[in-house]
């Protein structure tokens, strides 16, 4: 084994594992297309300032987890830790809001966070997500949650828990923060060093601290739902009503806060309990960010979105994803037929057939072994006789039957056998 290894927490995906990736990606794109989302692709690297301003200076991501570097032009750049800030940046940069009152975007790609690697937690991980700009909800909020639950069910991810909360806006937040700080301040000495510092800089963050001593204090903290202003309460009630009407089970979790500062009002998280998921069981998180577009320099535009971690979804998925076998495997009975085989392979592939061969010069027997191992349903055998006659022997490897057919008929014969499977 070479001493060169991938960066810790960053993974290769080999062809034998790609089936599951493809299945998730296909299901995601099929689903979002049905819901009217268009794909957006943004750069993997952005100016550092975008994430500092978008995600929030006093968050775990910005304080500890970003891959930030200075490029040769002395610009501070960061490998994107998430997709929302980039989507908002692109939405503003291209004046998308001026073209249409509501914009629905979907994306899928790698994200980077320097977290402690563990099962389901990586430093390069993949997210699929969506963002909706211009719709204040709450119906689109409910639709989004319901869409994700449907997608996960389609992928065989069962035993889910949908948690929802409402973080309120301006007034609600101010009154709640006051109560939270009043509760936490006398208990400051029981908190972790990080939380003690955040108590003055960003008290809401104390609520999603992972430190056990913080969690003990947080368990008794006041709940934001008791502080909701009437409009927030109305929004949250309608969200719940709509989720119920759509048949999506959910649980209100009043202490749910998430690690990004841009959220307000609707907040949700979907957790899995099955499959090979361990402690990293948050499959997907999202929420409303009605202030973010304005905060990044645009006009007031409501927004909501979510992202799901593909590796975690795959750990929770059921079903078999064997890599696809070729339709046909070409075998030559003498090495002189290898050029002939190369042209036959090209013709088959041109006709839309997945065809493979082993033309290194081994025995017919070893080529048949490779054909079996490949999982192909058909072997196409050519030797000097077939070359002279302009034919090929087409062998159905499952039934053992063999037919000699003209070269022009080989593709059709392979298809006929494949369809009879």
In the complex, the residues that contact ligand HAM under the rule CB under 6 A are 82-84, 113, 115, 120-122, 125, 127, 129, 131, 258-260, 282-287, 305-309, 311-312
By beta-carbon proximity to ligand HAM, the closer residue of 27 and 410 is 27
The answer to whether 148 and 130 are in contact (CB under 8 A) is no
Shortest distance in whole angstroms from residue 118 CB to ligand HAM = 9
227 vs 306 by CB, closer to ligand HAM: 306
Q: With respect to ligand HAM, which residue has the nearer C-beta, 131 or 261?
A: 131
Angle between helical axes of 139-154 and 230-246 (0-180°, round to 10): 40
| Nearest to ligand HAM of 236, 329 (CB atom) | 236
Q: How far is the CB of 197 from ligand HAM (least distance, A)?
A: 21
How far apart are the C-alpha atoms of 169 and 295, rounded to whole Å? 14
- In the bound state with ligand HAM, the residue whose beta carbon lies nearer, of 224 and 283, is 283
Contacts of 189-194 with CB under 8 Å at 24 or more apart are 190/216, 190/217, 191/217
Both tokens assigned to 293: 């577009």
**How near is the Cβ of 411 to ligand HAM at its closest, in Å?**
44
Do residues 366 and 333 lie in contact, with contact meaning Cβ atoms separated by under 8 Å?
no
Helix (H) or strand (E) holding 70: strand 68-70
The answer to whether 309 and 283 are in contact (CB under 8 A) is: yes
Residue 51 and residue 78 in contact, taking contact as beta carbons nearer than 8 Å: yes
CB of 130 to ligand HAM, least distance (A): 7
Q: How far is the CB of 18 from ligand HAM (least distance, A)?
A: 18
Ranges assigned E (strand) in 319-384: 328-332, 355-357, 378-382
Min separation Cβ 366 and ligand HAM, Å? 43
Considering the complex, state which of residue 313 and residue 344 has its C-beta at the smaller distance from ligand HAM: 313
- 264 SS3 class: strand
Q: How far is the CB of 282 from ligand HAM (least distance, A)?
A: 4
Nearer to ligand HAM among residue 207 and residue 411 (C-beta): 207
Strands (E), 282-369: 282-288, 303-309, 328-332, 355-357
Nearest to ligand HAM of 184, 260 (CB atom): 260
d(CA 127, CA 141): 19
- Cβ atoms < 10 Å from Cβ of 216: 12
Considering the complex, what minimum distance in angstroms separates the CB of residue 37 from ligand HAM?
A: 13
DSSP state at residue 156? T
């Amino acid at each position: 084994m070479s001493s060169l290894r991938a960066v810790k927490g960053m993974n290769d995906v080999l062809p034998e594992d790609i089936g599951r990736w493809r299945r998730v990606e296909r299901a995601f794109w099929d689903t979002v297309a049905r819901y009217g989302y268009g794909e957006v692709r943004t750069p993997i690297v952005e100016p550092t300032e975008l994430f500092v301003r978008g995600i929030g200076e006093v968050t775990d991501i910005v304080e500890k987890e970003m891959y930030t570097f200075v490029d040769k032009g002395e610009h501070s750049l960061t490998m994107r830790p998430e997709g929302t800030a980039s989507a908002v940046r692109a939405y503003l940069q291209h004046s998308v809001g001026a073209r249409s009152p509501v914009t629905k975007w979907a994306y899928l790609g790698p994200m980077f966070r320097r977290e402690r690697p563990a099962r389901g937690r990586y430093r390069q991980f993949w997210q699929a997500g969506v963002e909706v700009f211009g719709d204040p909800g709450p119906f689109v909020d409910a639709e989004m949650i319901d869409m994700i639950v449907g997608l996960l069910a389609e992928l065989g991810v069962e035993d889910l828990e949908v948690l929802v909360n409402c973080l309120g806006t301006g007034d609600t937040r101010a009154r709640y923060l006051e109560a939270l700080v009043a509760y936490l301040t006398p208990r400051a000495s029981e908190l972790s060093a990080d939380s003690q510092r955040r108590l003055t800089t960003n008290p809401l963050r104390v609520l999603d601290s992972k430190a056990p001593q913080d969690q003990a204090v947080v368990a008794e903290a006041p709940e934001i739902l008791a502080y909701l202003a009437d409009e927030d309460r109305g929004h949250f009630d309608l969200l719940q009503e709509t989720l119920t009407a759509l048949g999506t089970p959910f649980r209100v979790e009043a202490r749910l806060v998430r690690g990004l500062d841009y959220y307000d009002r609707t907040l949700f998280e979907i957790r899995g309990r099955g499959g090979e998921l361990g402690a990293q069981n948050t499959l997907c998180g999202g929420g409303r960010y009605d202030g973010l577009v304005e905060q990044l320099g645009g006009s007031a535009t409501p927004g909501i979105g979510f992202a799901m971690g593909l590796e975690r979804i795959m750990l929770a998925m059921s079903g078999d994803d064997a890599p696809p076998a070729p339709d046909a495997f070409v075998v030559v009975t003498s090495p002189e037929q290898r050029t002939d085989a190369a042209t036959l392979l090209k013709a088959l592939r041109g006709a839309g057939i997945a065809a493979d061969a082993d033309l290194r010069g081994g025995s017919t027997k070893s080529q048949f072994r490779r054909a079996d191992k490949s999982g192909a349903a058909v072997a196409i055998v050519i030797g000097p006789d077939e070359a002279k006659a302009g034919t090929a022997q087409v062998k159905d490897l499952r039934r053992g039957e063999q037919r000699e057919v003209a070269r022009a008929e080989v593709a059709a014969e392979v298809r006929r056998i494949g369809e009879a499977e």
